[in-house]
Structures are given as structure tokens and as C-alpha cells.
Structure 1
């Protein structure tokens, strides 16, 4: 049985404030999940969504994107499934609320360049508040958006952070499964 990576020490977490995480990316993916920014635990360990309370990996499995629950250190295994990961802002923080609106807006420029380079079919923004700020869409909701980024359809999903307690595991899985159905052609393709 696989074991999760050990938790970083307080010193390792503080040192992680200056680190960045590489994207998990390849050309032509079906869906690229865009987190808000790396948490300190993720930056310290070098893997996306590595904070123990983050529900990203279980949600991907429960929603049908992956055939089993992957561990953060298995993030490269997303690529054969047509999935990738990037972040809106590169700066690791203890909480996404530490980011400034200017950082999120600058992150959109980075996200656009990344999307232009890799050309995924769908870009899934994980957090409606970050989406509203970065894209200047204060009234936006969850789900498919009208706009596109470098040709990719845009879908807003709930943030899987354990701090986002308003979304149950079942509700998260249902929201993510809606995108999965569209991305796998079980619904209409991006318009």
C-alpha cells in the first residue's frame, strides 16, 4: 500500500514561501485544473494539492476523472488521462486570501500564456472568488462560462480546499463530474 508523503516541519513551511511549483502540463490536454495558488505544504513537498485537508485528489476520483485516487506525488499520472494542473498565482501562501487582487489579475496573464502554449480544450478555474477577481467578472457563478482563454473553454469549479467547508464531498464530485461529462464528449463540446 502506498503511503502519503510526510508532513513538512514549520521551518520547511516557512522556507516554502520562496518556492514555486512547476505546472503538470502537456500539449492538447482535455482539462487543465487551475488552482488559485500553491499552499505552503504543497510548495514544501513539491506537489500540487498536497495539503492533507485538500479534497482535490479524492474529488477527481469520485467525479470519474481518474480510475483511482491518486496521491499528490503521483500528479504526473494525470497526463495520460488528458488532465493537467497549473495555478493562477505562483506565490505560495498559507491561505489564498493572502493574495492581492493585483496578483490574481497578473496571474490571468500567466494563465493565458500557458494556455496559448499548451492548448487544452478546457480550463477549469478552482474557485469562483479568484475567477471573479482575475477575470473582472464580479457576478460570475459556477459552471461553464461564456468566455474562452486562448481558445480553451472556461469552467469554474468550487475550490477543493478543506477550508471551503460549504461544499460537501458529494457536491464537489457532482460539480466536477459535470465538467468531466462535457470534456469527455458526454455533453456538447466547447462552443
Structure 2
């Protein structure tokens, strides 16, 4: 199996595994998740109370210490997620299910409702807690933190992400 252009930040039994759609070209080049300027992941998880301070992309491996991890549905970096094909998203969903089953996070948070709908064949899904589990994990579809997603502002992201930490 070829090496991923952006490694997963994952360990067994995490509280929350965040799952982006795919790496940006900048994230792949820098070797860190959510590295593109304008991406609101790092401030959102801090405002949600999931990390004690605002972290930077270069510190993504430190998420494990807070019971958090990061992966992607599709490994191929692109300028925009819209460049991905439905077949890539569906294949990525199957691989993600195996990764989740192997590592057993309590919660899987897919960052992007459109990706969730296509990858998991849920065309009418809405954001929030999903009725099915993926790989055994409680599954949420939450807003994508990309700066290209104008539908969700930083306070909206923080509110959505704050719901993810299991009690």
C-alpha cells in the first residue's frame, strides 16, 4: 500500500477522531493537517473546549494527548474538495470504516456534510449526530472548517465541535 501524503494522527481509543474530506495541497506540502491559512479548525477546537489553548498545524501530533485525532476520507491532496470524484469518496469511506474499527475512537466527526452524503450514500443527511455508527463509533457530520465554507462561521463551528466530546 502506498504511503499516505499526509499521515493520520491516530491512536487506539481516542475520544474524537476528526475526519477531514482530503488534504489541501498546502497541508500535504507541510505535512500537517489543516495547514492552509484561513482554515478554522485550530481556533474552533480550542473555542469548543477540546484543547486548552489554540494550537497550530505544526502541533497536530499533540492532539493525541487531548484524546483527539485527525484523518481524511480521501488521501489525495487537491486545491478544493470539489475536485474529488464520488468514487474516490466512496472508496475512502470504506477505508475509513476499517481504520475506525481498528482504532475504536468513541466518536467519529466527519468535517463536511456534502462529503458525508456522497461518501456514505446518505443524500438527505443533515449535520449533527447520525443514526448509524461507522466502524462502531458514534458518528457526527459537522461543518467543514475550511475558509472556503462560508456557511459556517467560527462560533458555529465551535458550538458543533463542543458536542463531540463524549461524557
Cα deviations across residues 157-183 of structure 1 (Å, max 9, x unaligned)?
A: 100000001111111111111223xx2
Spell out the pairing of 1:34-53 with structure 2 (5 A cutoff): 34-53=19-38
Name the structure, 1 or 2, with higher relative contact order (CA <8 Å, separation 6+).
2
Matched, 1:135 2:120: yes
Matched, 1:178 2:163: yes
Matched, 1:71 2:56: yes
CA separation in 2, counterparts of 1:19 and 1:102? 18
CA separation in 1, counterparts of 2:4 and 2:100? 22
Kept in 2, the 8 Å contact 1:33–1:126? The answer is yes
Task: Say which one has the larger Rg.
Answer: 1
RMSD: 1.1
Instruction: State TM-score, norm by structure 2.
Output: 0.96
Does the residue aligned with 1:146 lie in a helix, a strand or coil? coil
Cα deviations across residues 63-97 of structure 1 (Å, max 9, x unaligned)?
A: 11001001001011110111000000000000000
Q: How many residues align?
A: 165
CA separation in 2, counterparts of 1:85 and 1:46? 13
Match of 1:168 among 153, 159, 164: 153
Moved over 2 A (4+): none
Cα deviations across residues 105-147 of structure 1 (Å, max 9, x unaligned)?
A: 0001110111111111110000000000011000000110010
Matched, 1:96 2:81: yes
Does the residue aligned with 1:138 lie in a helix, a strand or coil? coil
Kept in 2, the 8 Å contact 1:21–1:46? The answer is yes
Instruction: State TM-score, norm by structure 1.
Output: 0.84
Structure 2 portions without partners, runs of 5+: none
Does the residue aligned with 1:94 lie in a helix, a strand or coil? coil
Does the residue aligned with 1:80 lie in a helix, a strand or coil? helix
